[in-house]
Structure 1
Amino acid sequence: MTTPVSPMLARLAAEKATGALLRDHGTLYLVDGRVVHAESPRSPGVDVLLTAAGRLPRAGWEEAVDRAGALGAVGRFLVDSGRLRDGELEICHLGAVFDAAFFALAPTAGPTRFRYGVAHWFGTVRPVDAETVERETRRRRELLDSVWPYPAVDAAPVVPRPAAPGQPVGARHRALLAAADGVRTPADLARLLGRPAFHTLLDVRRLAAAGLVETPHEAPPPPPAVPAWVGEVATLDPDIALLRRLRDALEAAL
């Protein structure tokens, strides 16, 4: 039996709960145990995906939030006002949900909380089974590791490296490399380019595997602690007892 990505999410789905599941890296919104929205600070929201792609003017998004946010019906307003078609909204929103859920369900040592009855102002577009969200999250983790099993690139600034002579670089990757300035992280690049954050991570890992971006080295472990008296031995006349104490201390620290 597969272990749930989030045991609490599985329990909430079983009890058909409605509310907000809060975790360190994001929030999932549930209605009757199904996921209707997700957001994460590491993932661009629906607004970024729509406006950066030029599908919706920023003013149109702001009007929708102003007029329908308090009603929890921003998505419905975008369709009813003719700004988006049903299919467009559904595809964009599902992409944003799976993208944010991937980060919200990342392993964490922090607390997980659930606030019953809390709803998101965007409203419900197409509910997704919690099991489907977990399965997709697991699949994405495995895909990233199969491409380049060094997660340090996911949060570090993207530092491009020159391509080898004759090495092909596709247009999508060229755009990402052109925006990488050695300071922007994959999350920054996703927002700048208006792309889902997971897809940006996947591109960065593929570029790292191809040698086109640097993979940061992990910090070396701190040196072992040695008792203070060891440093004083050099200033004393050595005798057998001191040498044995020094040997024992060094062996214990290794």
Structure 2
Amino acid sequence: MLARLAAEHATGALLRDHGTLYLTDGQVVHAEAPAAPGLDVLLTRRLPREGWQEAFDRAGAAGRVGRFLVDSGRLADGELELAHLGALFDAAYFALAPGSGPTRFRHGVAHWMGPVRPVSAHVVARECLRRRELLDALWPHPQIDNFPVERASSDTPIPRRQRDVLDLADGLRTPVDIARLLGRPAFHTLIDVRRLAAAGAVRTPRDTPPPPPAVPQWVARMSEDPDVALLRRLRDALEAL
């Protein structure tokens, strides 16, 4: 559907259960997802919350918040562009994840940020695939992305960036929670968590119980035998007495 909308030069919002992509003339201009920290989180140290609120109040209705931040001198043009691209790809990874539910499109819907640096739909889809493959190569157990991160005993040296994640691994916070606290993209934090898992520095989610052993064919055939079924019913009746 994304490829078709790009070919049609559509403008609007592509909605899925895990996020939304905003298109203008078939190009992706913004993305947001509950699991991905937004620009306001990624730029917290550079722009206080009050600055975001003022920009939204004054330029949100016109869909020019990004332009307002630059024109008012709160952010440099390149600074906004880099942060916006990081947030876009971060949110798109979750929005386009397999199993993200049905896809709907609302024509004409625009995001309050406004266009900053449009990206082709092909590039967005390709980057999402690359990121999934990278995570699988680091630690091929995606369930760890959604579970609370808990430290484990390990003597493996941990780089500074991953230590920041490990310091917040209290067994209650998920990778997304840690990303928000650190003001980092969620995908980058998933990379750190999977590397920590591969190094044995965090506990991995408990495996699901193994399936019951397969019933031998001769047992299955016995259960279908009417004489065996009759004997079983008689046995149950005697035990009930």
The structure 1 residue matched to 2:83, chosen from 92, 113, 117, is 92
Distance in 2 between residues matched to 1:92 and 1:153, nearest whole Å: 26
Distance in 1 between residues matched to 2:100 and 2:47, nearest whole Å: 38
**Deviation of the 1:245 alpha carbon:** 5.8
C-alpha distance 96-243 of structure 1, shift in aligned 2 (>3 A) = same
**Deviation of the 1:101 alpha carbon:** 0.2
**Deviation of the 1:24 alpha carbon:** 1.0
The structure 2 residue matched to 1:190, chosen from 179, 192, 198, is 179
Deviation digits for residues 49-91 of structure 1 (CA, Å, limit 9, x no counterpart):
001xx11111111111111111101111110010100000000
The structure 2 residue matched to 1:219, chosen from 165, 189, 208, is 208
**Deviation of the 1:41 alpha carbon:** 0.2
C-alpha distance 90-109 of structure 1, shift in aligned 2 (>3 A) = closer
Task: Flag structure 2 segments of 5+ consecutive residues without an equivalent.
Answer: 214-226, 234-241
| Equivalent residues of 1:49, 1:195 under 8 A apart | yes
Aligned partner of residue 107 in structure 1, secondary structure: coil
**Deviation of the 1:109 alpha carbon:** 6.0
The structure 1 residue matched to 2:126, chosen from 122, 130, 135, is 135
Q: TM-score, normalized by length of structure 1?
A: 0.83
Distance in 1 between residues matched to 2:167 and 2:95, nearest whole Å: 29
Distance in 2 between residues matched to 1:218 and 1:85, nearest whole Å: 47
Question: What is the aligned partner in structure 1 of residue 33 from structure 2?
Answer: 40
| Equivalent residues of 2:16, 2:100 under 8 A apart | no
Q: Mean alpha-carbon deviation: is it higher for 214-223 or for 58-67?
A: 214-223
Matched residue count = 221
Distance in 2 between residues matched to 1:67 and 1:124, nearest whole Å: 17
Question: What is the aligned partner in structure 1 of residue 22 from structure 2?
Answer: 29
Question: What is the aligned partner in structure 2 of residue 145 from structure 1?
Answer: 136
**Deviation of the 1:162 alpha carbon:** 2.2
Aligned partner of residue 202 in structure 2, secondary structure: coil
Aligned partner of residue 17 in structure 1, secondary structure: coil
Q: Mean alpha-carbon deviation: is it higher for 183-192 or for 215-224?
A: 215-224
**Deviation of the 1:217 alpha carbon:** 2.2
| Equivalent residues of 1:152, 1:218 under 8 A apart | no
Alignment of 1:1-254 (within 5 A): 8-51=1-44, 54-108=45-99, 110-164=101-155, 167-220=156-209, 241-242=228-229
Corresponding letter in the other structure for 2:175:
P
Which runs of at least 4 in structure 1 moved beyond 6 Å after TM superposition? Answer: none
| Equivalent residues of 2:19, 2:34 under 8 A apart | yes
* RMSD over aligned Cα atoms: 1.9
**Deviation of the 1:171 alpha carbon:** 1.1
Distance in 2 between residues matched to 1:183 and 1:208, nearest whole Å: 16
**Deviation of the 1:112 alpha carbon:** 0.6
**Deviation of the 1:163 alpha carbon:** 2.2
Question: What is the aligned partner in structure 2 of residue 3 from structure 1?
Answer: none
Corresponding letter in the other structure for 1:113:
R
Corresponding letter in the other structure for 1:92:
A
Q: TM-score, normalized by length of structure 2?
A: 0.87
Aligned partner of residue 55 in structure 1, secondary structure: coil
Distance in 2 between residues matched to 1:242 and 1:44, nearest whole Å: 60
Task: Flag structure 1 segments of 5+ consecutive residues without an equivalent.
Answer: 1-7, 225-239, 247-254
Distance in 1 between residues matched to 2:135 and 2:23, nearest whole Å: 27
Corresponding letter in the other structure for 1:196:
P
- Give the fraction of aligned pairs with identical amino acids, expressed as a percent: 70
